Structure 1
Amino acid sequence: MGTYGYISIIAMLCYGFMLLMFLAAKRNKIINSFLVVLLGLLFWTGGSAFMRAQFWPGCEFWYQVSLLGILLLPYAYCRFILAFGGKKSGVPGKIYLVVMLLCFWLNAQYGIFLESPNVVDKNGVSTFVYEIKPAIVVFFIPAGIFLIYLFMVLVQICKENPNIKVQYEPVVLGILALFLGNAFLGIPIFSGFPIDILSGVVNVFLLFYALIRRRLFRLQMLASSSLCYGVGFLFSILVFLNIVPFLQKIPGIQPDKNMTVYTLILAIIFLVIYTFFTFLWRLLIRSVFIREENHQAEKIREFNSAISKTLDLQEILDRTIRVMKELMDVGNIYVCMQNVPGESYRGVASDQPLSDLAFALEEENPMIQWLKEHEEPIIYRDFRYSVEYKSMWEEEKHQLDKNHTRYCAGLKDGDNLVGVVLITDSSAKKRLVYDEVELISNITSVASIAIKNARLYENACLEARTDEMTGLLNRKYFYEVLNEEFEKNKEASLALAIINVDDFKLYNQLYGVKEGDLCLQCIAGIIKSSVGDSGYTARYGGKEFAVLLPGYDLFSARNLVESIAKQIFVMNNRRTDMKLKAITVSAGISAAPYAAKNVKELMENVDLAVYHVKHSGKNGIQVFDTMFRNNKNENTTNREHIYREYESTIYALTAAIDAKDHYTFSHSTNVAYYATALATTLGMNEDMVEIIRQAALLHDVGKIGIPEYILNKAGRLTDEEYETIKGHVEASIDIIRHLPSLDYVIPAVIGHHERYDGKGYPRRIAGEDIPLTARILCVADSFDAMTSNRCYKKAFPVNVAREKLLQDAGKQFDPNLVEKFVECLDNGTISLVKAEEA
């Protein structure tokens, strides 16, 4: 058969092998057109090989098959080029096909263009001699015209879509290789060498490479079952044809003696060879491709499972980077995210903790625009040939080039591009692996869904914790932040300020609700910009704002609040459309651990400070600080004036109590004495001492509604009567609640029967959750009850009452307050109120 025949058979096997692969591939126009090219090459090569081997049914038949393949190739390439560029097959291709088939039929019938070759025996070697006729130009002229048309179509496709120009390079090189291979047949040095067949093999492999670059074919397709059987069959035929001559020389299996045995032996040998090659191919594919594919599939499953269980954006990005690094041989990976549409895409994550993320990609960047419009990643080496790349600024190109950018992929939330993944090479000469593009696409698709869910969750959380009108934190979430920051700052200072807008109801009445809402939004903007990243801001109530300042002391917090108040006061001066009244605020400030031991106490102290400013005439700032006593700068006269306004109301209520039950009145005045003495000893400022005095006078005002027979009953109370007595706390609150000027005493009054162990009433709160003022009243109230004569008991001696206080410290009473109260009894700071004074 000679060198020509063997190379032809090898080429035919290669074409058949690729044909089997593409038969196992997913169907589309490009794959189908490539199959037509393979069939044309297979006809040409196979016909030429079988003709030279002089197989049945003869040289004439195989010559016609080879000629048909050659004539069909231009049409096959036309279909492939048009499909590769996304174009439909045109009329010229169909005309060429009809003309060539007609010429082929005429030539097969009459041999008028090119007759089959004559077989000449030269030195025992069969040589094929062709008789060239002038009529052969009938083949060449239509083919030449059609090839010129094909070239023009290719140029037009590249002009319309410059991005595809680089993808056509292997196709053009393949066609050029095929043309040169056939042209070199006329050169004497290639006489007798199958250069045309080899050029066909080079051509088809270049087309195969173009399809891989286009990601239309994956090497994992080699593992399909049909391909394994087909490859085994092709190799079996090749080997079997070469060993048959040797089998004929083995004695005992001559075909002319025993045809049945000979056929059976050949069948068994072919089956063994076929089984061996099929098994060998499967083993090779599983070792090289399947194992890697399974590894990738397992890693992606783990990735999908991991990010489906988290809604943390940073964790999603970190896992995305990690899985890419594990599955690809790349340099660095960067993720840039866009927070708000219109902003730049800024670096937020990288595979290297020390990587410089201080770079950004502008939204107008042509590469960003390309990623927005396409779902697939960018192969940067191919992108450099595109119009988009040429329209980029030189600085943008340099930023991508210096990092040896390899791929760029988009992270999408619906139609919005929310992030960009930049994948680089460790070296500028790193080769591309086109299967990586599909891998990146799969990973970024999953990551995009996870990012979308994370952002939806983040937005839902933001809406749940944000005030809709002002954009500040709402009250509920502010309490969560306050508790978290209180725990974090136990060893440091934590300042809290409440800013209450003065006369806001009047402002709404004057200018309308819409203008009032605008006023609140402006105030919120001033507070938020003034606080910045130094703390937290919240809408605490309808017209109240809270500011939490971790690490701030009282002095710094006051300076900040003063600045905010000044800005709010002048904010309406900027209005040019209408003249509005100036806005003033009343603000209270306190800090932990200086003035509060827990969150509840901190909030109560700030509220008291705000009440103090409101009752002082508004438009001011009050700092609640129990560490700085007897502040010389305070206006004592003004404070006395404030509380003097409430004296008449307090005495009116206590007089009503006295008229109903003289003991209750005497008891209240005694409790006021003990409580204020204890508060003074604790170092509380004068405002708090006065609040405690007023709370002590009013703490039993609710007993006005209790029947006298219960109040004066000498024996043990029934359960129903005891429940009636317990109701005096809530009755006291109901009375005080209708006196807005005295509502600051409510925390002390409502909690004076709570127990430190949580077994008291009415709210059953415990420990330091009970307001400090209420804990002070509890000690004073109980001590007076024990040391006073009642209709149902005699007064205990002081030493007995003292011991009972100590016994119940930590149970009914705050142990620290009991210790201080007993100390005051012992040193004479607090003395027993005599009966005649009661």
Structure 2
Amino acid sequence: MREREEVFDHFITAVINTLNADEIYDAAIEALQDILQPDGLLLMMNQNTHHVFSVIRKCGSIACTKSYSVPTDSMLQELKDSPNLIMLNDTGKHILDLLTPRQRNWLNAEHITAIYTLKYNQVIIGFLYIAAHDGQDFAPEELRYLEKICYYSSYALRNANLYQNAYRASITDDLTSLYNRKHAFECIDHVCQHQKPSTLIVLDIDDFKLYNELYGAQESDNLIHRFAQVILQEISSKDIGFRFGADEFLILKAGTDIDEACSCCKRIVDAITDATPANTVWDITITCGISVFPDISTDAASFLHNAEQAIYYGKQAGKGNIEVYRPGIDERSHDPDIRAAYERVAPTIYALTAAIDAKDSYTFIHSMNVSKYAVILAEALGMNSNDIEIIRDAGLLHDIGKISIPERILQKTSKLTDEEYAIMKTHVENSTKMIRYLPDMDYVIPAVVGHHERYDGTGYPRGLAGQNIPYMARILTIADCFDAMTAKRPYKQALSVEYAVNELEKNSGTQFDPVLVKKFVELIHEGKISIA
């Protein structure tokens, strides 16, 4: 047996040079075995769980059928107020009265003669059970070393726990409890450095920025949280989930089974869409990109890049797709200029408006007028060229959903029934759904979906009020209503500009944004807005 002081010095050297709890446990148990020479030791620790103490280390003759223990409140309070070391065959016999018969029988069967309570700042963090079949008391010097080893172990373990908590916080996303972007890079680097065949899945929520604008930050956070919970439910214990960006998640899977990766994506997408609240304006879609290492991707950089490229190609193909990266996949360019984006889809827009014109000529002319009036107002408000282009496009597209409304309702000359009006109101949702599948045109959705909202919150489809209504939608509302009043419709004659101005001013602050109404009326008086 090594000299006790030498054993203790070795223990101290070990624990002050580590923040690894397992290394501290090992050093403490080894030192106690050498110094006390017990028949058995059992260390149970509370690992940040309420009242549950788990078996951490066990040596010698002690046997236990359960891997944890849940002391009663009364026992914990008694131990908290008692000396750390309790000798059960002497001064600590009163502790036995606080135990269940099963616990007392276990102590007797395993010849437990002493319990040392590990504390930190008067908080119990663990128990050390010491077994000695002969019941012999420990020498005073042995007890001093027991006290010192347990004392230093408690502080070392607390420091290790603080470090682990801090490290865990540094690699964990606060909102979702998934690992974060920083740890994603670390894990991807690790599997590539060790040449472990792996599959990387990137899942991106389509139009999340628009979702955030339409439903607000709280509902967006709820969606992100639901997404994370679904990922945790669907992935296996060998997989790792990450929140990689505001609307982007990663899953790192062991192996290169692409079919399983695609199935995993589908399960997650189905679970998310099934849980989507019924009052959303459109169905949530998720684009998934998949890459594999080392079969196609050769290093960490290409592993992630290829998955991101697959996402890009999936979105270019219309969103809501599962795309696997393969060599030779077509390169595509992205032009962020909105005017260029509009020009790419202009033929589609005019084809849609022409189809509406064939069904209801008023809607086509109305859309042209709304676009014109809204652009004039946007220019007067000093909006930038991209925002003005959005207003122009939103005006043209805001009623394309009417292509799905029956002609008998569109062309009805009398007042609509409640049922017919309910059908007519669906044109907003239908417009939104159609726009989402026009490449590069989803930026107009907030204006389109909000053009029937009212400033007082009594509009539809969502009952938004005041500043919560997208700014461009508030512009579109005024242009839409002005043209509705001053144009001839199947069920009414055109009203005068004077009447329309009076209605705009009368409903300023209830139906319309008062600041925007004031500017719009000024433009009418200045002759910058007029009807043909």
TM over 0.5: yes
1:645 & 1:508 partners in 2: Cα distance?
23
Aligned with 2:189 (options 453, 461, 483)? 483
> Within 5 A, what are the aligned runs for 1:130-141?
none
Q: 1:354 to 1:466 in 2, by over 3 A?
A: farther
Aligned with 1:523 (options 216, 227, 248)? 227
3-state SS in 2 of match to 1:470: coil
Mapped pair 1:508 → 2:209:
no
Mapped pair 1:400 → 2:107:
yes
Deviation track 1:461-508 (CA, whole Å, cap 9, x = no partner) reads: 1122112222221212211111112233x2x53010011111111221
Mapped pair 1:333 → 2:37:
no
> Within 5 A, what are the aligned runs for 1:640-679?
none
Q: 1:565 to 1:363 in 2, by over 3 A?
A: farther
Q: Which residue of 2 aligns with 1:414?
A: 121
Q: How far does residue 603 in structure 1 lie from its aligned partner after superposition? A: 0.9
Q: How far does residue 543 in structure 1 lie from its aligned partner after superposition? A: 0.9
> Within 5 A, what are the aligned runs for 1:361-510?
361-364=69-72, 366-382=74-90, 385-386=93-94, 388-425=95-132, 427=133, 429-433=134-138, 435=140, 436-488=142-194, 490=195, 492-510=196-214
Q: 1:328 to 1:389 in 2, by over 3 A?
A: same
Q: How far does residue 566 in structure 1 lie from its aligned partner after superposition? A: 1.2
Deviation track 1:382-440 (CA, whole Å, cap 9, x = no partner) reads: 36631x42232222223333221122222333333222222222x2x331225244432
Q: Which residue of 1 aligns with 2:308?
A: 607
Q: 1:320 to 1:591 in 2, by over 3 A?
A: same
3-state SS in 2 of match to 1:307: helix
3-state SS in 2 of match to 1:537: strand
Q: 1:520 to 1:382 in 2, by over 3 A?
A: farther
Mapped pair 1:597 → 2:304:
no
Preserved contact between residue 42 and residue 59 of structure 2 (Cα < 8 Å): yes
Deviation track 1:283-332 (CA, whole Å, cap 9, x = no partner) reads: xxxxxxxxx9x943332233222201111100000000011001002112
2:309 & 2:115 partners in 1: Cα distance?
59
Q: 1:347 to 1:357 in 2, by over 3 A?
A: farther
Q: Which amino acid aligns with 1:539?
A: R
Deviation track 1:223-280 (CA, whole Å, cap 9, x = no partner) reads: xxxxxxxxxxxxxxxxxxxxxxxxxxxxxxxxxxxxxxxxxxxxxxxxxxxxxxxxxx
Q: Which amino acid aligns with 1:333?
A: L
Q: How far does residue 339 in structure 1 lie from its aligned partner after superposition? A: 2.0
1:507 & 1:306 partners in 2: Cα distance?
54
Aligned with 1:566 (options 257, 270, 288)? 270
* Number of corresponding residues: 342
Q: Which amino acid aligns with 1:432?
A: D
TM-score by length of 2: 0.58
Q: Which residue of 1 aligns with 2:22?
A: 314
Q: How far does residue 363 in structure 1 lie from its aligned partner after superposition? A: 4.0
Q: Which residue of 2 aligns with 1:813?
A: none
Q: Which amino acid aligns with 2:154?
A: S
Q: Which residue of 2 aligns with 1:171?
A: none
Preserved contact between residue 371 and residue 409 of structure 1 (Cα < 8 Å): no
Preserved contact between residue 62 and residue 131 of structure 2 (Cα < 8 Å): no
1:481 & 1:343 partners in 2: Cα distance?
34
Q: How far does residue 622 in structure 1 lie from its aligned partner after superposition? A: 1.1
Preserved contact between residue 367 and residue 389 of structure 1 (Cα < 8 Å): no
2:286 & 2:209 partners in 1: Cα distance?
13
Preserved contact between residue 500 and residue 610 of structure 1 (Cα < 8 Å): yes
Preserved contact between residue 191 and residue 197 of structure 2 (Cα < 8 Å): no
Deviation track 1:657-707 (CA, whole Å, cap 9, x = no partner) reads: xxxxxxxxxxxxxxxxxxxxxxxxxxxxxxxxxxxxxxxxxxxxxxxxxxx
3-state SS in 1 of match to 2:104: helix
1:585 & 1:494 partners in 2: Cα distance?
22
Q: 1:453 to 1:622 in 2, by over 3 A?
A: same
Identity %: 24
Preserved contact between residue 588 and residue 622 of structure 1 (Cα < 8 Å): yes
Preserved contact between residue 366 and residue 389 of structure 1 (Cα < 8 Å): no
Q: Which amino acid aligns with 2:9?
A: R
1:443 & 1:390 partners in 2: Cα distance?
28
1:541 & 1:594 partners in 2: Cα distance?
26
Mapped pair 1:546 → 2:253:
no
Q: Which amino acid aligns with 1:609?
A: A
Preserved contact between residue 40 and residue 131 of structure 2 (Cα < 8 Å): yes
Q: How far does residue 447 in structure 1 lie from its aligned partner after superposition? A: 0.3
Structure with larger Rg: 1
Preserved contact between residue 87 and residue 93 of structure 2 (Cα < 8 Å): no
Q: Which amino acid aligns with 2:168?
A: L
3-state SS in 1 of match to 2:260: helix
Q: Which amino acid aligns with 2:166?
A: A
Q: How far does residue 514 in structure 1 lie from its aligned partner after superposition? A: 1.8
Q: 1:315 to 1:645 in 2, by over 3 A?
A: closer
Q: Which amino acid aligns with 2:126?
A: G
3-state SS in 1 of match to 2:249: strand
Preserved contact between residue 40 and residue 62 of structure 2 (Cα < 8 Å): no
Mapped pair 1:585 → 2:263:
no
Q: How far does residue 454 in structure 1 lie from its aligned partner after superposition? A: 0.5
Deviation track 1:569-613 (CA, whole Å, cap 9, x = no partner) reads: 12234x9xx768643211111111222111111111101111111
Q: 1:581 to 1:649 in 2, by over 3 A?
A: closer
1:552 & 1:421 partners in 2: Cα distance?
46
Q: Which residue of 1 aligns with 2:403?
A: none
Q: How far does residue 358 in structure 1 lie from its aligned partner after superposition? A: 4.5
3-state SS in 2 of match to 1:538: strand
Mapped pair 1:347 → 2:55:
yes
Q: How far does residue 348 in structure 1 lie from its aligned partner after superposition? A: 1.8
Q: 1:354 to 1:554 in 2, by over 3 A?
A: farther
1:352 & 1:405 partners in 2: Cα distance?
12
Q: How far does residue 551 in structure 1 lie from its aligned partner after superposition? A: 2.8
3-state SS in 1 of match to 2:297: coil
Q: 1:328 to 1:529 in 2, by over 3 A?
A: same
Q: Which residue of 1 aligns with 2:524?
A: none
Preserved contact between residue 316 and residue 447 of structure 1 (Cα < 8 Å): yes
Q: Which residue of 2 aligns with 1:324?
A: 32
Please state which structure has a larger fraction of its residues in helix: 1
3-state SS in 1 of match to 2:276: helix
Q: Which residue of 1 aligns with 2:319?
A: 618
Q: Which amino acid aligns with 2:97?
A: K
Q: How far does residue 614 in structure 1 lie from its aligned partner after superposition? A: 1.1
Q: Which amino acid aligns with 2:181?
A: R
